[in-house]
Amino acid sequence: MSCGAPGEVRVNGLRLRTHAWPSPGRPRALLLHSLAAHGHWWDWAAPPLAERFDVLALDFRAPGIWTYAFDHAVFLHPPVDPWPFLPRIGCPALVVHGEASTIMDAETCGRVAAAIPHGRAVTLPGAHHHLIIEEPERFSRIVADWHRAIIGA
């Protein structure tokens, strides 16, 4: 496991923490998580991805408010409805779910991917919800295979 280099991105007054596994000159892979996870969840999957990509993981925790463990404080704010935002994603996107996840099923994964103009859904057989920690090598291979398929290389 290798922790990414800490950093931050500021956009429209919003400050987001980042973790980077830089590989200049390679295509950028932007890694996103949801809800109570944090950017260090990518520490297992990002190093193999950095063999092919310039990797940047966003950490959606509010700086100084949430902790690195599963943080129930994330549920204190009103939930954000992602559906209006998904059609505005302009780049190819891969939505991956673990076959044995009890949190995101295949149907929901497919709906999310279908809402993104260039989205694709993929199932990681046998994996549970925390597939980037449970199966980082298999997850990284799925991402690399998807990338090869969309760019033809």
Domain span at residue 9 reads: 1-63
Q: Tens place of pLDDT for every residue, the chain, 153 residues?
A: 678 898 988 888 877 788 999 999 999 998 887 666 677 888 999 999 999 999 999 876 655 555 555 556 666 666 678 899 899 999 999 999 999 999 899 999 999 999 999 999 999 999 998 888 899 999 999 999 999 998 876
User: Is 92 among the domain residues?
Assistant: yes
Q: What's the CA gap between 64 and 81, in Å, rounded? A: 24
User: Is 73 among the domain residues?
Assistant: no
* Domain shared by 18 and 53, yes or no: yes
Among 83, 138, 143, 146, which residue's Cα sits nearest to residue 116? Answer: 83
**Which residues, in sequence order, are CB contacts of 119 under 8 Å at separation 6+?**
86, 89, 92, 93, 94, 95, 112, 113
Q: How many domains does the chain have?
A: 2
